[in-house]
Homo-oligomer: A and B are copies of this chain.
Amino acid sequence: MDRLDKKILRLLQADTTLAVADVAKRVGLSTTPCWRRIQKLEEEGVIKRRVAILDPDKVNTRVTVFVSIRTNSHSTEWLRRFSEVVTTFPEVLEFYRMSGEVDYLLRVVVPDIAAYDAFYKRLIEKIEIRDVSSAFAMERIKSTTELPLDYMVFDKETRES
């Protein structure tokens, strides 16, 4: 990967509807080599997928809640089930195991506080959790899927997955 790949990624992270010829023009390549690079970026898994981003308001998921979870020390089996249960809820967009105070952190989207309450009940019904604390977002100031590309490393060799 080099600066050209980086430019290509920057464009495609913002908009995949661009035609290959347009991408090529903007990064200063001709179509075929640009197409080959995009192809390669996909094969290598640098580009994982191309998706449509929806407006949360329009699909009635206005409210974002961050859920901090503390667990007791549990069996591997419990942990497996816990991960599975949480992951299965479509309201859970992000789910991380954390270091420090909190053991797990979720980002959940729902229409309103009542719906969050219902979600919460459905969750603790399926799996027992020691301590849950919820923090509501009042305002979404920034939200993007574009990763910063300034940390990319250009080695001579293709890096493995």
Contact = CB atoms under 8 A, between A and B. Distances in A.
Given A60-B152, A93-B147, A135 B99 contact: yes
B47 A138 contact: no
Given A54-B147, A86-B142, A109-B147, A60 B15 contact: no
Given A61-B147, A115-B151, A105 B137 contact: yes
Contact of A141 (B66, B95, B138): B95
Nearest to A115: B151
A96 B12 CA distance: 25
A139 interface: yes
A111 B16 CA distance: 25
A76 interface: no
